[in-house]
Structure 1
């Protein structure tokens, strides 16, 4: 790893390994520090297409298109992006394709930005109202099992699954001025 990218924690490595071994060929995302390791890993992997989105709801449609094209896709987003997707989540029910998202949480543990609070508190409920099964990871040692279980529920059972990665797992975000 370069000095600007320290080694990732084992739980982050485990998530990428699950996606890779599970045959994910497309990873869609809006840039997010909480997903930085996954994003860098996808960019570096020649077998995975990394797709930068302008808004998170594009990732829902991308996941459907990937499935129709015979590929698996994963959507990475922050909890604030879930609110952008609510209308597009109706596509999941209408088209009935597997869906797997990893959501980094904000508005929880040691949040410094008051704008993140409302959607952070509404994320799980919004996903569940749209028929998405929600799993949550709060501790590093449970990451691999929970993410793997969610991945299988999506791609082996055909479910719609979002795994919330708790802010306490990701770590404190700190406001810095340059």
Structure 2
């Protein structure tokens, strides 16, 4: 309900991103998995097939194929339509910056902060990432950023231990920080 309330409040700002379609796509997959688990639909079908000797081990089908492979393949086949629906719901079209489909009046919104401060002129282009996004992958595997994340995680754990060791001190620091 909170997600729907959030959607109704920001509906006019998010129309090109199709948020309700995205929510529906995700919830349909979760719903199908829930129904599969709740009612054991595939297990009931396979139990009937096993009990009537329609589905049994042969020279072509092993025990693992019959009891693990076929039910798993059935779930994969059920997910194919959802995969195509996800391609529609999570389209990259609203995020492209190629000049032809700019939805906002101010094209400067798409530029990096450094470029807008430097006063460069806007030239329509797509996001920069190099061929096949190689620059993005290099930034992703940046060892310095990886080290910074590990140290910040360590400091958060250390701070959490300090707070859990002395709950009164953490309550006082919270009150001082937020003016309570």
Q: Bin the TM-score by the shorter chain.
A: under 0.3
Give the structure, 1 or 2, with the largest relative contact order (CA under 8 Å, sep 6 or more).
1
Rg (Cα) greater in structure? 2
User: TM-score normalized by structure 1?
Assistant: 0.22
The structure with more strand, counted as a fraction of residues = 1
Greater helix content: 2
